[in-house]
Homo-oligomer: A and B are copies of this chain.
Amino acid sequence: MEKIKITKSETSKSKPTTDQLEFGRVFTDHMFIMDYSTEKGWHDPRIIPYQPLTLDPASIIFHYGQTVFEGLKAYLTPDEKVKLFRPEKNMKRLNRSNDRLCIPAIDETLALEAITTLVGLDKDWVPSAEGTSLYIRPFVIATEPYLGVAPSQNYQFIIILSPVGAYYKEGINPVKIAVENKFVRAVSGGTGEAKTAGNYASSLKAQELVADKGYAQVLWLDGVEKKYVEEVGSMNVFFKIDGEVITPALNGSILEGVTRSSVIDLLKHWNYPVSERRISMEEVFEAAKNGKLEEAFGSGTAAVISPIGELSWHGKNIEVNGGRTGKVAKQLYTTLTGIQTGKQADPFNWTINIE
């Protein structure tokens, strides 16, 4: 494994105060870069001062979107240690995304070492207030200057860090979600399973239209029949119906969330009935009608758990659990954030400490 070369920044930028913290607007003092060429493979892993990228305007990333990314967080524990939550799962997913996008695989051990070294160097940027964290964004871009539609011969793997505020400024809070009937995010055989730019580009329009009507996010249905639940914005989704917790099965068009899999593990650990299967919007609305829809919530790195208080579909609205956060959502949120920040025991060994 090639050694990571470190060039330290000569100055340090001023850090945002707790109430200045937003999501993804401010970046730390350093970044990680590694290059790829067909001749040399991945090479020259290095940490340098945070700085602009200089790219030929013909670079494939600008034209054909050959790119993948990841998203995870570093958390400060009460005794000022820095923890990562299941980062090896993100590195695995990065390589699954790479494979779908014809990008050469990255050594997962090196990628993880890049993250821990970079976060270690910018440790002072990990915010300490309740609910805050340091967001980590690894991404790969195709840099060959070539307008043919073909996999690039050159890439850069980059990691940047951003201190982020609490997702819920006033504690965990249910959101309103609109079920999307026109636009489609992904379809089986497409790129929905991969964490790649095009999926998000495709979602902007739908998101913009519902935001105008006061909804926080759209809930995507399958692209084929527009019947079955897929996921929400940048979260996987769960419904508690008649005592059972249900989440859509991984069908090729849904992102396999790290939080999703942790939620499933926790529920099983607690002996809650949980199933991964196909679930239609019809079933959800029918359950609501019969008083059996007990909870609905999203899961993802940004919000951890995001309770859904209202769902709108074809002009009909249902309120979930009286618009309040449900018991299971609450318990999952407390446990996951507890483990992530080292405030609770970590029975699954999900976290690692950064020196």
Contacts and interface: CB of A to CB of B under 8 A. Distances in A.
Contacts of A37: none
Contact of A162 (B139, B147, B158, B191): B147
Nearest to A158: B57
Given A24-B58, A147-B24, A204 B66 contact: yes
Interface residues of A, number: 65
A197 B201 contact: yes
B197 A189 contact: no
A147, A224, A226, A234: most-surrounded residue (chain B CB, <10 A): A147
B197 A197 contact: yes
This chain: how many copies in the complex? 2
B55 A208 contact: no
Contacts of A183: 189-190
Contacts of A101: 201, 204-205
A25 B146 contact: yes
A160 B147 CA distance: 11
Interface string A5-24: 00000000000000000011
Given A57-B53, A146-B25, A234-B149, A190 B223 contact: yes
Interface in A133-177: 135, 137, 139, 141, 145-151, 158, 160, 162
A63 B137 contact: yes
Contact of A55 (B55, B185, B198): B55
Contact of A62 (B27, B67, B185, B202): B67
Given A189-B183, A190-B184, A149 B207 contact: yes
Contacts of A189: 182-184, 223, 226
A215 interface: no
A102 interface: yes
Interface string A180-217: 00111111111100001111111111011000000000
Contacts of A190: 183-187, 190, 202, 223
Contact of A160 (B57, B150, B203): B57
A349 interface: no
Given A147-B135, A184-B188, A223-B224, A205 B100 contact: yes
Interface of A: 23-25, 27, 31, 50, 52-58, 61-67, 69, 100-102, 135, 137, 139, 141, 145-151, 158, 160, 162, 182-191, 196-205, 207-208, 223-224, 226, 233-234
- Top-5 shortest CB links A-B: A198-B198, A24-B147, A65-B197, A184-B189, A65-B201
